[in-house]
Amino acid sequence: MVKKVMKKTITETLNDDGSMKTTIHEQPERIVEKKPKEKKMTAREREELLIENFVGLQHAMTNLSIKFGGLSDNIGRLLQVFEESAKNFMEGGRPDDQDLLKKINSLLDQNKTIAKGLVLMESKLRGRAEPESPQEESFKPRPKPLPSI
């Protein structure tokens, strides 16, 4: 419900002929809203609400504990897989692993040969473009050998 409060202003003035003139002005001063009174909770309603919230909290905690149990089971199974793979690795590799290692070593040797050839070609190309002085040659970094496996 809205209630308007009006402000009345009465003004008295003198006219040119000396008589009094009275004017009344009405302006809305403010609008006051009446709020319906909030119903306060009784002790019984408060207790019921607390019990309902507590039961909901217990339900959430139960679900959380079930989920953690499942998570611990999954982690246990994952650890078993890692243990089995570690045991297999420690027992020794399969014969296929030896073949694979030989192929990787041959690729590394080929890579070293190609790298040496590229370095020689690059040094010859630089030799044509600009002759190197003996001082510059002593400070020139040399390529490091590739690690062997």
Q: How far is CA 122 from CA 48, 127, 129, 144, in A?
A: 87, 9, 11, 16
**What's residue 52's pLDDT?**
96
Does residue 136 or residue 104 have the better pLDDT?
104
Residue 28 has pLDDT above 60, yes or no: yes
The structure tokens listed for 53 are 């919230």
Asked if 41 and 54 count as a contact pair (C-beta separation under 8 A), the reply is no
Please give the average per-residue pLDDT across 9-30, as a whole number: 73
Of 26-30, 60-64, 83-87, 124-128, the range with the highest mean pLDDT is: 60-64
**What's residue 67's pLDDT?**
94
Residue 33 has pLDDT above 70, yes or no: no
* Alpha-carbon gap, residue 18 to 55, rounded angstroms: 85
The pTM of the whole model exceeds 0.75: no
Please give the average per-residue pLDDT across 4-12, as a whole number: 71
Q: Looking at residue 146, what DSSP letter applies?
A: P
Helix (H, G, I), strand (E, B) or coil at 28: strand
**What's residue 92's pLDDT?**
72
Residue 123: CB atoms within 10 A of its CB come to 11
Does residue 119 or residue 95 have the better pLDDT?
119
**Strand partners of residue 33:** 2
* Alpha-carbon gap, residue 115 to 57, rounded angstroms: 68
